[in-house]
A and B are shown apart, each in its own frame.
Chain A
Amino acid sequence: MTGPRAGSEAAGLHVLVVDDSDDLRDLISMVIARHPGGWQVVGTATEGRQAVDVAREQQPDLVLLDIAMPVMDGMEALPLIREAAPEATVVMLSGFPFETAGPGALQAGAHGYLEKSDLVRSLIPRLEEILQAG
């Protein structure tokens, strides 16, 4: 495989969750772990620099990357994660509406953009959609 993992190959997906909110990180991890396709959270990080290290070490298939974080934000970490784990699909998470931060994130190399308000009920469907399109 030369690019991000496609939806048909998404069974047993390895996921890295990056968010500075402990609650949100844990809850997203729970939702990921309940995926019937056996998705696994192989690592978590609380800020961008740590995320780059984990991505290099774990080579995840999917990275959920928060934008606003202390130390190194998601936009800064994005190209470094793409370089550290070139096979990974990177989806940005943000509390900002897509129009505010989405186009910039996609232009910077993200494969998808999810508003945090959409996480509650549509996290998995939206991720599957992005992986399918990838």
Chain B
Amino acid sequence: MTGEDDPLDAAALDDLRQQVTELRRALAEIGGGGVDALVVGDPADPAIYTLTPAERPYRFIVERMGEGALTVSENGVVLYTNPRMSDFLATPADAMVGRDIVDFVPVDQLPQLTRLLGDTGESTRRAELELPGTDGVGVPYLVTATDIVGDDLRLRCLVFTDLTMQKLIEQQVAQEAARAERQQVAIEVNDTIVQGLVAAEMALDLDHHDLARRVIARTSEHARQWIGALTGAESLQPGTAVRSHPARAGEATP
């Protein structure tokens, strides 16, 4: 018979020490994120417990995506920023977290920010914001604000998409449209005024003085209308000043 305080034999003690060491190592691996799942129970019918957080892939995406992302508290304190957002604002993440988001937005953009952060009843809100770029020049962003509501917290996630390229394309399209309109106006002016003068000169050469006078009077009236349209406040619409149909010219013709 052995008493309660009977010492364990040396072999049993070594075995226990070994088990403790292995458990400590396993816990350290789990704590360090090195274990994706635990297999427990009968090897023939194991129970598998997944330890990888389900949100890990999403976090990976947010960390690597080309858009800037910020999470702010209900009162506007920055809780998280992804690396891209740090690049946009040229500010390290740890210098942003804990500060009011207002600190990063120019005063003239605050009304848009307020609308984004406001409680409008919409789960997602969008607005354009212009933030100072690394070279000091304003960079336009489309900002999408989404509410994240939990049991005892309410956060807002802001995603910033750089609109520089889109704005550039829009500007080029607008310039091209303006150029096409100027071209159309040139065609109209040319067709109505220049050829009116040519017709008058031809009529004079042919001794059709009455026709020449009529052509000159008509051309003069057209010229007045064009000049009025070109200098007036109203936008000039090609083809509306003097003709029932706008003149057309081949694409190769300016």
A residues apposed to B, CB below 8 Å? 20-21, 23-24, 27-28, 30-31, 67-76, 94-96, 100-101, 104-105, 108, 116-117, 119-121
Is B198 a contact of A117 with CB atoms below 8 Å? yes
**CA–CA, A30 and B205, complex, Å:** 11
**CA–CA, A83 and B54, complex, Å:** 70
Q: Which residue of A lies closest to B193 (CB)?
A: A95
Q: A96-B190, A96-B253, A104-B252 are in contact. Are A69 and B203 (CB under 8 A)?
A: no
Is B252 a contact of A70 with CB atoms below 8 Å? no
Q: A21-B199, A24-B199, A70-B246 are in contact. Are A117 and B194 (CB under 8 A)?
A: yes
| Chain B residues positioned under 8 Å from A24 (CB to CB) | 195, 198-199, 202
- Is B211 engaged at the interface, CB distance under 8 Å to the other chain? yes
| Chain B residues positioned under 8 Å from A72 (CB to CB) | 248
| Chain B residues positioned under 8 Å from A67 (CB to CB) | 249-250, 253
1/0 contact string of B161-198 vs chain A (CB within 8 Å) = 00000000000000000000000000100110011101
Is A120 a contact of B201 with CB atoms below 8 Å? yes
Q: A27-B203, A119-B198 are in contact. Are A68 and B249 (CB under 8 A)?
A: yes
- In B201-254, the 8 Å CB interface with A consists of 201-203, 205-206, 208, 211, 215, 239, 243-254
| Chain B residues positioned under 8 Å from A116 (CB to CB) | 194-195, 198
B residues apposed to A, CB below 8 Å? 187, 190-191, 194-196, 198-199, 201-203, 205-206, 208, 211, 215, 239, 243-254
Q: Specify which of A21, A23, A70 is in contact with B245 (CB 8 Å cutoff).
A: A70
Is B196 a contact of A95 with CB atoms below 8 Å? no
Q: Specify which of A31, A73, A100, A101 is in contact with B202 (CB 8 Å cutoff).
A: A31
| Chain A residues positioned under 8 Å from B247 (CB to CB) | 20, 68-70, 73
Q: Specify which of B194, B201, B211, B243 is in contact with A95 (CB 8 Å cutoff).
A: B194
Interface of A is mostly: helix
Closest beta carbon of chain A to B239's beta carbon, Å: 8
**CA–CA, A120 and B212, complex, Å:** 13
Q: A27-B206, A68-B187, A68-B191 are in contact. Are A73 and B199 (CB under 8 A)?
A: no
Closest beta carbon of chain A to B199's beta carbon, Å: 4
Is B195 a contact of A71 with CB atoms below 8 Å? no
| Chain B residues positioned under 8 Å from A74 (CB to CB) | 249-250
Q: A31-B206, A100-B254 are in contact. Are A120 and B198 (CB under 8 A)?
A: yes
Is A30 a contact of B249 with CB atoms below 8 Å? no
| Chain B residues positioned under 8 Å from A75 (CB to CB) | 249-253
Is A71 a contact of B250 with CB atoms below 8 Å? no
